Amino acid sequence: MTTFTTTPIFYANGEPHLGHAYSGILADICHRYQRLAGHNDVLITGTDEHGKKIASTAEAHHTDIREFVDQKSAAFSALWRPLVIEPDVFVRTTDTYHKAHITEVWSRLLAKGDIYLGAYSGEYCVACEQYYSERDLNGRQCPVHGREVETISEPTYLFKLEHYRQSLLAYYHANPGVITPLHYQEAIIEQLEAGPLEDLSVSRINNNWGVEVPNDQEHTVYVWIDALFGYITAITSQDGSEQDIANTVHVLGKDILKFHALYWPCLLLALELPLPRKLVVHSWWTIEGEKISKSNPDTIVNPEVFAKRLTADGLRYALVRQKPLSRDGNVSLSEFIETVNADLANSFANLVKRNNTLITQYFAGHISQDNAIALDDECLLLLSSAEEYIQQAATAYQSFSPFEVTLALKQLLDETNGFFHHRSPWLMNKGKGSQHVRQTCFVVANIVRQIAIAISPITPILAQSVLSEFGLSLKTLKWESVAFTDEVNVTGAKSHFQRVK
């Protein structure tokens, strides 16, 4: 069975920033773990390129709209390679096949009677290009941008959101944990239980830059249908069907939770389609407490600059090591450097180099599996502990909690380093017996090899560098490919991760 992991379909009205990179890194970690676990997983990303705001921004830059979105989409496409992310699909809402798909979706919803022409009056945020109910606002301020909203009335096509409220509420009650972390699902349930939902505006008038409503040329299809159905456009481009949305994990920021956890499933229910397997919701990275956002230039952080300073692996690790998904975090380069140096350079890479140096020096790069038969109690105790930590890491991946993965692996590294220093295998010529040293190096080699496999979804370059020294490749490895007491063959002892200055 093919599974799918998605980033949001990013709004292409500005340059990508660290917030976009964070979503992409989390999605790539989920994707890499799925493949490591033996699944044929497809990574989807893309850009949402329609709307009045994009047209206005292009005009303000004295640029042709098509040229403008081509430039911005290319910038998002170029974001991924420096972060060691290789999407399988990059969908654009301006693509011809996507627009044809949206026209077909609209016609189906219209035929069912779920869309009708009406009028909408409400509080509108120009920066978000969306209406907000009074309960969602902070006074008259947009909850995302902090800007004052405008009261706007205009004709619009409306989707009968309330028709599907009870069905969606029952689904969430029957499937706890389909949104993670769980408190985000509880928040949506509370909103659904609060009472009737207002019908959803799904078209815009006086906007020529979008997919034309097939039954009304004065309107264009709004983002709730245009961008969200981009996920299915991407799936079908890979020979999947719209039913495969059931095998899909969406990774998204908390600011677009409502769109994905309320509007999107109601639209799917209206078309009698299954709902996504999982929504993985993350909080924000902030600059001095302010959300990183294209609309706030003071918060823009170029992820490529951070990746060059920390390395791609360093940035990926720091972003997931510093905080769990549920908590906002303030960007601090000095804290990132400290974390990366402590965990990747000192605890992991340095241990690998020191242990492999001893194996090549004393045992010609080879320790046979026979050594597992007579391991002393201290060795057996550490191996037992290591198996528990690696299982904790697997459970954390399955729970979509990369922060917990890093905690488990850091604890294992701390114990393994303590074991290594306590047993001092480098003193073989100064009183430490050959068997003692051989067993120590054998156990440490097996553990760091397992750690390299386990950490590979987060730090793929470092992991492959370590595994190559053991004659292994991530291209052929699966999570349980290597046992804890396999023979050890080492081809060298290089520095796998340089300290960040």
Positions marked catalytic: 17, 20, 125, 128, 142, 145, 291, 294
Q: What is the DSSP letter of 148?
A: B
Element (H, E) at 124: strand 115-125
Q: How many CA atoms lie within 13 A of 214 on its CB side?
A: 14
CB of 34 closer than 8 Å to CB of 50: no
Return the SS3 of 46: strand
Element (H, E) at 2: strand 2-11
Q: Beta strand 203-205 with 219-221: parallel, antiparallel or unpaired?
A: antiparallel
CB of 319 closer than 8 Å to CB of 22: yes
- Separation CA 36–CA 25 (nearest Å): 16
Q: Beta strand 248-253 with 278-282: parallel, antiparallel or unpaired?
A: parallel
Cα angle 366, 486, 348 (rounded to 5 degrees) comes to: 80
- Separation CA 249–CA 8 (nearest Å): 11
Beta bridge partners of 121: 153
CB of 264 closer than 8 Å to CB of 98: no
- Separation CA 32–CA 55 (nearest Å): 36
Closest CA to 102 of 11, 202, 229: 229
| Sign of CA pseudo-dihedral 233, 237, 243, 248 | negative
Exposed e or buried b for every residue in 379-401, given b needs 16+ CB within 10 A?
beebbebbeebbebbbebbeebb
What's the Cα-to-Cα distance from 341 to each of 338, 460, 462, 470, rounded to whole Å? 5, 17, 13, 23
Closest CA to 445 of 399, 473, 397, 483: 483
Order the strands of the 150-159 sheet from edge to edge: 130-132, 115-125, 150-159, 200-201
